[in-house]
Amino acid sequence: MRYLITFSYDGSKYQGYQKQPSMNTIQDEIEKVLFKLAHEKCVSIHASGRTDAGVHAFNQKAHFDLDENINLDKLKHSINSMLPSDIYVKKVELVKDEFHARFDVKRKEYIYKINIGEYNPIEKNYVYQLNRSLNINNIKEALLYLKGTHDFKSFTKSNNEKEDYIRTIFKADMMLENNQIIFSFIGTGFLRYQIRNMVGTLLEIGLEVRKPKDIKEILEAKDRRCAGKIAPSCGLYLKDVYYE
Amino acid sequence: MRYLITFSYDGSKYQGYQKQPSMNTIQDEIEKVLFKLAHEKCVSIHASGRTDAGVHAFNQKAHFDLDENINLDKLKHSINSMLPSDIYVKKVELVKDEFHARFDVKRKEYIYKINIGEYNPIEKNYVYQLNRSLNINNIKEALLYLKGTHDFKSFTKSNNEKEDYIRTIFKADMMLENNQIIFSFIGTGFLRYQIRNMVGTLLEIGLEVRKPKDIKEILEAKDRRCAGKIAPSCGLYLKDVYYE
């Protein structure tokens, strides 16, 4: 049986989502629980994608296979009872055997939170604190240049591998509410560090160090060195993953 | 010179506000910083009152004396640069030598947050998660009985000391918004565990284990055993402290 889980996590204490040797990751925590549930058989989970150290998720998705057909509510309850309190399974579904939580992704939504008001210790791991005033109109104009289908090589980790850097962004918005800026991005998928590099660049535009139109040139350059500084991971949330 | 500071903190990792031998407290952290600022002279701080382990503060107040007359903005900046990221000084003021942050308190405001929606790992240390449905009208009725001047002995830690348990509550309200219940209490002062014991009792009323009018009997009994279970510390916030 193939199961699909929807889960949220506080990424503050983890070295990211994806399993790595001798690292503390979210995937490790879930697989440890499934190992117990599957009577000490290793169960691999396949998520919609990884998130980096310190990044949070509201609705991450992953699939895994179990021999048994377990009642879904019972399974959800069992997993949660064994998970640490910073990871929570919101939903368990049965899916077709061909379903794949990564390959079948149609759209992903991320949000990025910035606090431009007074520092709040309670939110220290959950927003990027910026004590500067921003030109919001310039940021909004810059967001328009990010929308659409582009080669986003300038906004990802530089490497030499031949990779496809073309992605489509359907939504690139920002909201300002109670001194919090919330960026929201929906796209076919995002490259590694893409959102954080885009946000870092947008903030430089907000600080008037760069102009909104610079986004066009940065995209054309296909060179990471042309974009702005990466924004910290604590402000980033994987909000939703959409399938057919 | 006597200085008054307004500060916020995330109480999650502390054994409460007040200094205790070999414990990790908020007072210790601030006094460590002042020791350095006062050229290795011990500086005692006097807060409006203590908060227990895991309790947070938006606007705690404390005073301390320094020989030097330091520019207030500079002092705020210096203290914050040395404090851990879960404590933050929002304001530094000069006050009269007779001012006392505890004895001069006129009113205090606390809030208590409960999440009755889906569990959110990001808020695990900042709300009390309750997976039950509540009779909100009954809670609102019960709140009326808490308002006013009463002997609150039933809602504090039982002890044998002769103490004055009479306090006045000016405001005892609740709001329900996006599946979060926020209790708000303003009073002349609160006894140890009083808010958490009142909230625990109010929740039992919301669960219809008790009736709203039971509050009257509990107050009259002056016996801790008559009130409900204490609510966890993570939902409690010292919101404001008012002086003349």
Cβ within 8 Å, pair A10-B122: yes
Query: Mean pLDDT throughout A94-122?
Result: 97
Question: At residue B162, does pLDDT exceed 80?
Answer: no
Cβ within 8 Å, pair A120-B86: no
Centroid of chain to Cα B129: 19
Lookup: tokens for A27: 């995937």
- The CATH label, of 3.40.50.300, 3.30.70.580, 3.40.190.10, 2.130.10.10, for the domain at B2-95 is 3.30.70.580
How many Cβ atoms from other residues are within 10 Å of residue A28's Cβ? 16
**How confident is residue A161, by pLDDT bands cut at 50, 70 and 90?**
low
Cβ within 8 Å, pair A124-B56: no
Asked, colleague to colleague, whether B2-95 and B107-242 share their fold, the answer is yes
Return the HEC string of A152-173: CHHHCCCCCCCCCCEEEEEEEE
Minimum mean pLDDT range among A36-40, B1-5, B123-127, B142-146? A36-40
The SS3 call for residue B186 is: strand
Burial A61-72 (b: 16+ CB within 10 A, else e): bbbbeeeeebee
Of B56, B120, B124, the CB nearest to A122: B56
- Of A52, A65, A86, A151, which one is the catalytic site residue? A52
Between the two ends of chain B, the Cα-to-Cα distance in Å is 20
Query: Mean pLDDT throughout A177-199?
Result: 95
The answer for residues whose C-beta is within 8 angstroms of residue B127's C-beta and 6 or more apart is B113, B114, B115, B120, B180, B234, B235
Predicted local confidence at residue A22, as pLDDT: 81
Q: Do residues B184 and B171 make contact, with C-beta atoms less than 8 angstroms apart?
A: yes
Predicted local confidence at residue B22, as pLDDT: 81
How many Cβ atoms from other residues are within 10 Å of residue A120's Cβ? 17
Cβ within 8 Å, pair A124-B86: yes
Q: Does B85 touch chain A (CB under 8 A)?
A: yes
H-helix or E-strand spanning residue A123: none
Q: How far apart are CA B105 and CA B97, in angstroms?
A: 16
Q: How far apart are CA B44 and CA B39, in angstroms?
A: 14
Its CATH architecture, for the domain A107-242, is 2-Layer Sandwich (3.30)
Predicted local confidence at residue A72, as pLDDT: 96
The mean predicted confidence, pLDDT, of chain B is 95
In DSSP terms, which residues pair with A91 in a beta bridge?
A6
Predicted local confidence at residue A79, as pLDDT: 97
Residue of B nearest to A13 (CA): B122
Predicted local confidence at residue A42, as pLDDT: 93
Predicted local confidence at residue A20, as pLDDT: 87
Predicted local confidence at residue A160, as pLDDT: 62
Query: Mean pLDDT throughout A168-193?
Result: 95
pTM: 0.91
Instruction: List the one residue out of A104, A199, A198, A105 whose CA is nearest residue A153.
Output: A198
Q: Do residues A6 and A60 make contact, with C-beta atoms less than 8 angstroms apart?
A: yes
Question: At residue B161, does pLDDT exceed 70?
Answer: no
How many Cβ atoms from other residues are within 10 Å of residue A133's Cβ? 10
pLDDT in tens, B183-233: 999 999 999 999 999 999 999 999 999 999 999 999 999 999 999 999 999
What ipTM does the predicted assembly reach? Answer: 0.88
Q: Do residues A27 and A18 make contact, with C-beta atoms less than 8 angstroms apart?
A: yes
Predicted local confidence at residue B16, as pLDDT: 94
**How confident is residue A1, by pLDDT bands cut at 50, 70 and 90?**
very high
Query: Mean pLDDT throughout B29-53?
Result: 95
Distance from the B118 Cα atom to the nearest Cα atom in chain A, whole angstroms:
8
Predicted local confidence at residue A4, as pLDDT: 98
Question: At residue A110, does pLDDT exceed 70?
Answer: yes
Q: Does A122 touch chain B (CB under 8 A)?
A: yes
**How confident is residue A23, by pLDDT bands cut at 50, 70 and 90?**
confident
Distance from the B244 Cα atom to the nearest Cα atom in chain A, whole angstroms:
25
Q: What is the dihedral of CA B184, B188, B191, B195, to 10 degrees?
A: -10
Q: Do residues A26 and A14 make contact, with C-beta atoms less than 8 angstroms apart?
A: yes
Q: How far apart are CA A67 and CA A75, in angstroms?
A: 13
Q: Does B121 touch chain A (CB under 8 A)?
A: yes
Predicted local confidence at residue A157, as pLDDT: 85
Query: Mean pLDDT throughout B145-170?
Result: 88
Cβ within 8 Å, pair A88-B126: no
Query: Mean pLDDT throughout A79-104?
Result: 97
Lookup: tokens for A183: 């960026």
Rounded to 10°, the helix B136-146/B194-206 angle is 140
Rounded to 10°, the helix B214-221/B194-206 angle is 150
Q: How far apart are CA B12 and CA B53, in angstroms?
A: 7
Q: How far apart are CA A187 and CA A106, in angstroms?
A: 8
Predicted local confidence at residue A151, as pLDDT: 94
Where are chain B's structural domains? 2-95, 107-242
Question: At residue A159, does pLDDT exceed 80?
Answer: no
Q: Does B129 touch chain A (CB under 8 A)?
A: no
Between the two ends of chain A, the Cα-to-Cα distance in Å is 20
Predicted local confidence at residue B160, as pLDDT: 62
Residue of B nearest to A88 (CA): B121
Q: How far apart are CA A196 and CA A11, in angstroms?
A: 15
**How confident is residue A149, by pLDDT bands cut at 50, 70 and 90?**
very high
Q: Does A119 touch chain B (CB under 8 A)?
A: yes
Q: How far apart are CA A216 and CA A230, in angstroms?
A: 18
